[in-house]
Amino acid sequence: MFKKILIANRGEIALRIIRTCKEMGIKTVAVYSTADKDSLHVRFADEAVCIGPPPSNQSYLNMSAIISVAEITNADAIHPGYGFLAENAKFARVCADHNIKFIGPTGDMIDKMGDKVTAKKTMREANVPTIPGSEGLLDSVEHGLEVAEKIGYPIIIKATAGGGGKGMRIIRNPEQFQEMWDSARQESQAAFGNAGMYLEKFLENPRHIEIQIIGDQHGKACHLSERDCSVQRRHQKLVEESPSPYMTEELRIEMGNAAVRASKSIGYEGVGTIEFLVDEDRKYYFMEMNTRIQVEHPVTEEVIGYDLIKEQIKVAAGIEIIGQDYFPQVHAIECRINAEDPFKDFRPSPGKIKVLHIPGGQGVRVDTHVYASYSIPPNYDSMIAKLIVSARTRTEAITKMKRALSEFVIEGINTTIPFHEQLMENKQFAEGNYTNKFMETFEIKKP
């Protein structure tokens, strides 16, 4: 087992990783930017080293500074958390070159899943359903028009280097093609340095349902059931839950097996997520794979009673998994609490937290790095807490979430708490009747 892990991240996930390391008897090293000098991850780690000024590209994305700290402090592994360097194949390779274990998959596995055309081809070969579309990259507008004609409009063009919504365009008729093509390519070139595009049939009303998987260094893999992440706004998840209200026992087994096939087909090592779109006929299609621990991992932890960070560290250390699949035992819901004003188009609201009260009680979990008098810096993402509840049934979980939200007090900044309170009262949400279009029509009432 590792003796000392460097955590190349900040905020709640850095704290989350430190907590598990403590329970495992592993020493921790925090790295931080000057904006985070008063952060809890700095205080709770055994050692902490400043790696640069507030901008991420000079601190949390600064590979040489992070590797230097790992060498100076004698860390034998680096946990990247999510975001920042978590899906950076070059960083995974640099770690390996320095004999530091990157807690996650190899650079080659990250590359394979990071390029969406390659990932889709890999999935087709593993017999995982994919959305009908182009075989590979499109080489011209003419080629795109030809494929679109064959599968029928509407279609969607996506950046092979993309993911999470960037470089995507929905095209409803051939007249729009050229214009959409040009703008999507331009956007992708600017964002990823790669203008490669592929094409798919556009699904109008899908759900975003993802399967958590874990694979070890011995070729074993299993799934840990699903999370429904359909409640999103501008490709930002707001609420996640498990089990999905749309799931059936048969579909869970099918999708779970498909996710395990996906994982095994690349000899995947680490925790990962296979994202699927599920249509109105409950047909499921591979969308993309995330090769990291995700923000919403606690939802899965609560329904199967399992510390995913601990398991992630164990497989990174070469320990074999049992290899049995896990099925939800309870219902869990997570609300992301962001420092944003939900009444002003979710615009960021950094600043000092003057008053803080964190909810508690049975089945209530809050993952956060904030405390009373803490100032939220404007430099990073706006998520400041995750409120996770678990109960025997979905109805009870919603009731518990309402109660926990009503106890949550954060003064000095605006947060998404009032949005979540309204969402929990929504009839469609209560019925589990929502798709990825839900937020387009959800109306937030001003107080």
- Give the span between the Cα atoms of 275 and 290, in whole angstroms: 8
- Least distance to ligand MV4, CB of residue 111, Å: 18
Residue tagged active-site, from 185, 227, 252, 292: 292
Binding mask 92-131 for ligand MV4 (x = CB under 6 A): ---------------------------------------x
CA proximity to 3, closest of 75, 70, 73, 61: 75
Contact present, 299 and 388 (Cβ < 8 Å): yes
Q: Is residue 232 within the footprint of ligand MV4 (CB under 6 A)?
A: yes
Q: Which of 136, 152, 164, 360 binds ligand MV4 (CB under 6 A)?
A: 164
- Least distance to ligand MV4, CB of residue 371, Å: 33
Active site residue 234: no
- Least distance to ligand MV4, CB of residue 146, Å: 18
- Give the span between the Cα atoms of 309 and 16, in whole angstroms: 8
- Least distance to ligand MV4, CB of residue 200, Å: 4
Q: In the Cβ-directed half-sphere of 372, how many Cα atoms lie within 13 Å?
A: 8
Nearer to ligand MV4, 128 or 131 (CB): 131
Strand 364-368 relative to strand 340-341, pairing: unpaired
Nearer to ligand MV4, 208 or 252 (CB): 208
Q: Is residue 287 within the footprint of ligand MV4 (CB under 6 A)?
A: yes
Contact present, 197 and 138 (Cβ < 8 Å): yes
Contacts of 124 (CB under 8 A, 6+ apart): 130
Backbone conformation region of residue 132, classed left if phi is above 0, alpha if psi is from -120 to 50, else beta: beta
Q: Which of 203, 222, 224, 389 binds ligand MV4 (CB under 6 A)?
A: 203
Q: Is residue 438 within the footprint of ligand MV4 (CB under 6 A)?
A: no
Q: Is residue 296 within the footprint of ligand MV4 (CB under 6 A)?
A: no
> Which strands sit side by side in the sheet containing 207-215, from one edge to the other?
284-290, 270-278, 207-215, 221-228, 239-242, 331-338, 383-391, 364-368
Q: Is residue 90 within the footprint of ligand MV4 (CB under 6 A)?
A: no
- Give the span between the Cα atoms of 54 and 60, in whole angstroms: 9
Sign of the CA dihedral with 18 first, then 20, 22, and 26 last: negative
Residue with tokens 């008098």: 373
Q: Is residue 313 within the footprint of ligand MV4 (CB under 6 A)?
A: no
CA proximity to 72, closest of 119, 6, 116: 6
- Give the span between the Cα atoms of 268 and 291, in whole angstroms: 9
Q: Considering only the stretches 58-66, 75-83, 160-168, 422-430, report the one whose residues sit in contact with ligand MV4 under the rule CB under 6 A.
A: 160-168
Sign of the CA dihedral with 246 first, then 247, 248, and 250 last: positive
Q: Is residue 208 within the footprint of ligand MV4 (CB under 6 A)?
A: yes
- Give the span between the Cα atoms of 363 and 396, in whole angstroms: 10
Q: Is residue 134 within the footprint of ligand MV4 (CB under 6 A)?
A: no
Q: Is residue 165 within the footprint of ligand MV4 (CB under 6 A)?
A: yes
Binding mask 316-355 for ligand MV4 (x = CB under 6 A): ----------------------------------------
Q: Is residue 404 within the footprint of ligand MV4 (CB under 6 A)?
A: no
Q: Which of 37, 43, 172, 235 binds ligand MV4 (CB under 6 A)?
A: 235
Count of residues that bind ligand MV4 according to CB under 6 A = 17
Torsion over CA of 34, 39, 40 and 43, rounded to 10 degrees? 40
Q: Is residue 152 within the footprint of ligand MV4 (CB under 6 A)?
A: no
Q: Which of 12, 36, 111, 200 binds ligand MV4 (CB under 6 A)?
A: 200
Nearer to ligand MV4, 13 or 203 (CB): 203
CA proximity to 350, closest of 395, 381, 319, 390: 381
Q: Which of 32, 102, 181, 202 binds ligand MV4 (CB under 6 A)?
A: 202
Q: Is residue 303 within the footprint of ligand MV4 (CB under 6 A)?
A: no
Nearer to ligand MV4, 183 or 406 (CB): 183
Q: Which of 26, 156, 335, 401 binds ligand MV4 (CB under 6 A)?
A: 156
- Least distance to ligand MV4, CB of residue 163, Å: 6
- Give the span between the Cα atoms of 183 and 285, in whole angstroms: 26
Nearer to ligand MV4, 38 or 280 (CB): 280
- Least distance to ligand MV4, CB of residue 93, Å: 25
- Give the span between the Cα atoms of 238 and 387, in whole angstroms: 11
Supply the residues annotated as catalytic. Answer: 292
Question: Contact residues for ligand MV4 (CB under 6 A)?
Answer: 131, 156, 163-165, 200-203, 206, 208, 232, 235, 277, 287-288, 436
